[in-house]
Amino acid sequence: MAQKLTTQSAAERIIVPLDVPTMEDAIALVDTIPNVTFWKVGLELFVSAGPAILEQLKQRQKRIFLDLKFHDIPNTMAGACRAAAGYGVDLITVHAPAGKVALQAAQAAAMEGAAATGCAPPNLIAVTLLTSINPRALAFELKVSLELQDYALQMALLAQDSGLRGIVCSPQEAEALRRVCGDEFLLVCPGVRPAGSAKDDQQRAMTPSQAIAAGASYLVIGRPIAQAENPATAFQQICDEITING
């Protein structure tokens, strides 16, 4: 289970994505920034490297966010989460719009998978709305009539009511979601960019210190660190910003 956030340092609250195509690239980045304790493995790397990358991270005593965003019928989501929980990772993502039955099945199966393999149970967290989606896309492309923040809130409440430990949300929704969902609910926030950084494809972004102040539990920060001239220095500067402003 997640540590109490009040005892965590700034470095422990930053998750750095391994958004690289190969195992070799991933290990090179991990070893370049030894102070990073929490890494995200997403679709590209997991499809390329498979579970072997998770073993490499565990050997280095890293925490792991397995970000595969399962979204399917309840039986399929349950099977996927049962298997994923057996890897001994810390966070696993599913999509909230899969619905309550699927979310409940996924949560129960994750607990079963962890128990069967002797692993600590993972925290299952639901993606409310991808941070690449802006209000116009939500309304005109996805045909959702709710305001973006109201939609994110509904998905968060659905996840919480289904027994999940937390959600993935934009930092711009974090303050409102924290008020409604309480202090123990995990808010994992991508779309975090240091001041002066390019937003890239993130439509709903905040700076690291702003996101923490808004109520984020963890920050997912990728390109501003991984693509910096000196990734270790970039990571430390973000940690310092959070600490100073926190």
User: Annotated binding residues for substrate, as ranges?
Assistant: 19, 40, 67-76, 131, 193, 202, 222-223
Q: How far apart are CA 180 and CA 14, in angstroms?
A: 24
CA distance 90 to 123: 6
Is residue 90 flagged as an active site residue? no
CA 199 to chain centroid, in Å, comes to 18
Is 58 an annotated catalytic residue?
no
> CA 139 to CA 133: how far, in whole Å?
10
State the binding site.
19, 40, 67-76, 131, 193, 202, 222-223
- Select which of 62, 72, 100, 200 is catalytic: 72
What is the rounded distance in angstroms from the CA atom of residue 41 to the CA atom of residue 81? 15
Q: Would you call 235 exposed, middle or buried from its count of C-beta atoms within 10 A (0-12, 13-18, 19+)?
A: buried
Catalytic residue among 58, 62, 69, 100: 69
Is 69 a catalytic site residue? yes
Q: Which residues form the catalytic set?
A: 67, 69, 72
